[in-house]
Amino acid sequence: MVKFILSLARHGESTFNQAKLVQGQTDSPLSGDGVLQAESLGHRLANEKIDYVYTSDLLRAAQTTELILQSLRTPPLDVVKEVDFRERSFGDKEGIKISEYRSFLSSEGLTFRSHVPKGGESFQEARQRVVKAFYDVCKKQVELQKNETTTTNDRLIHVLVVGHGLLFKELLSYFIEELHVEIPGGKDRVMKDSANSNLSRFEVEYAPNVTPKMVCKFIYDYSHLPEDMQKALPSKAY
């Protein structure tokens, strides 16, 4: 059995976020504000000991991760790019205006959650993928402790995952629905917009073949951002 801290950080604003385009797995870079947001998050985490970092390999997440790493006073033991932490794929709808996508859904009598774009993923498929990635992280921590590769002086191991808004919503919903984790505001809060560079944190207790026990410390916190940026948030996650 292992206990560790799990922090989930959404990437900073991307150029697609800025232009209000459906993004999905399109590889758009951080905008100027996105760089500032990622740097602010890095400054917030600077004095924390983060042992392992997992990041989506999409550019906006990888750039956010790099800016966080530049701020940390102590480098992590490992940084892993993980494809399963990519955002949900929107297939042939990526690159169009969010407003255009909403109009399409309305005209076809479809809902955001029910529609599966051509070449894209359903929300169920995206959830299965991110849940698998979560358990892979848990299993990795078991192996690391078994091999005694990490010394923490009784401090909990800290794992940071840098990823995406919609995918984290699916993961947090899984925590509530399947693991019965108490999250402030519950499912309604989880499914609301989550600001770019927001941070969520949990304490995890995991053992193989046993349902994980988790305690939510906070979700979607962006108090590290400058006040003027906070007033303009949260922003859409697509």
Question: pLDDT of 5-18, one tens digit each?
Answer: 999 999 999 999 99
The answer to the question of residue 196 being in a domain is yes
The answer to the question of residue 47 being in a domain is yes
Predicted structure pTM score = 0.94
The Cα 199–Cα 224 span in angstroms is 9
What percent of the chain shows pLDDT beyond 70? 94
The answer to the question of residue 95 being in a domain is yes
pLDDT of residue 230: 80
pLDDT at 237 over 70: no
Domain of 16?
Answer: 2-231
The answer to the question of residue 124 being in a domain is yes
Write down the mean pLDDT value for the chain.
94
Give how many domains the chain has, as a whole number.
1
Which own/partner contact pairs does 224-233 have at CB distance under 8 Å and 24+ positions apart?
Answer: 224/40, 224/41, 224/43, 224/44, 224/197, 224/199, 225/37, 225/40, 225/195, 225/197, 226/36, 226/40, 229/33, 229/36, 229/37, 229/40, 233/195, 233/196
Cite the active site residues: 11, 87
Question: What confidence category does residue 193 fall into, taking pLDDT thresholds of 50, 70 and 90?
Answer: confident
pLDDT of residue 233: 67
The answer to the question of residue 237 being in a domain is no
pLDDT of residue 200: 98
The answer to the question of residue 22 being in a domain is yes
The answer to the question of residue 236 being in a domain is no
pLDDT of residue 52: 98
Q: What is the largest CA-CA distance in the chain?
A: 59
Helix (H) or strand (E) holding 215: strand 213-221
The answer to the question of residue 49 being in a domain is yes
The domain that holds 181 is classified in CATH as: 3.40.50.1240
